[in-house]
Amino acid sequence: MTADDLRETSAALAGRALELPELGRAGAVAAYVSVGSEPGTRALLDVLYARGVRVLLPALLPDNDLDWGAYEGEGSLARVQHGGRMALFEPTGGRLGPDAVTSADAVLLPGLAVDARGMRLGRGGGSYDRVLARLERAGAHPALVVLLYDSEVVAHVPEEPHDRPVHAVVTPSGVRRFHPGP
């Protein structure tokens, strides 16, 4: 995709995501900053922040778990290189701890694909599997939403016993729900 394609799909994705009632009424949203050719999240983060939503962004820990920090606009991000792995944009402010995600009304999850059952295929690092397990242990029930390109919604993805379905997938062309949200 060209840079113009990425900007266009990022704007469309933000528009579709903002139509979700779960995001419209959220006081806190755990999200992430897209990197590379992932569906763009920056426009969505900026709108949520401008609306007064508390936006939590992850910071990758050495064991692949996630700590969280508050997003306070584009100037609150730093590019962090994680060894031989990818560089991520992480919040520069204070860390809130791995359990901060349990306060979110909605959690936006990255993924490679989502299938017709709402099962998400991640990148294999297990970071978001830990997040989902942490939410379950805490008895937290935020809306779980994956942001993808249309072609990444597929018939079937592999599933492991610890995997949990998401409530919705948002693509530039629309929203598909799998299970009732919280």
Instruction: Tell me if residue 124 falls in helix, strand or coil.
Output: coil
The DSSP 8-state label assigned to residue 169 in this structure reads: E
Are 58 and 45 in contact by the 8 Å Cβ rule? The answer is no
Consult the annotation and say whether 154 binds a ligand: no
Residue found under tokens 């993808």: 148
Consult the annotation and say whether 97 binds a ligand: no
Consult the annotation and say whether 124 binds a ligand: yes
Consult the annotation and say whether 55 binds a ligand: no
CB-neighbour burial class of residue 140 (10 A; exposed 0-12, middle 13-18, buried 19+) = middle
Consult the annotation and say whether 49 binds a ligand: no
Consult the annotation and say whether 118 binds a ligand: no
Consult the annotation and say whether 37 binds a ligand: no
Identity of the amino acid at 14: A
Question: In degrees, to the nearest 5, what angle opens at C-alpha 135 toward C-alphas 147 and 16?
Answer: 20
Consult the annotation and say whether 7 binds a ligand: no
Consult the annotation and say whether 40 binds a ligand: no
Helices (H), 34-82: 42-50
Backbone dihedral angles phi then psi of residue 67, each to the nearest 5 degrees:
-95, 170
Identity of the amino acid at 106: A
Residues flagged as binding site for substrate: 33, 38
Residues flagged as binding site: 33, 38, 120-128
Residues flagged as binding site for ATP: 120-128
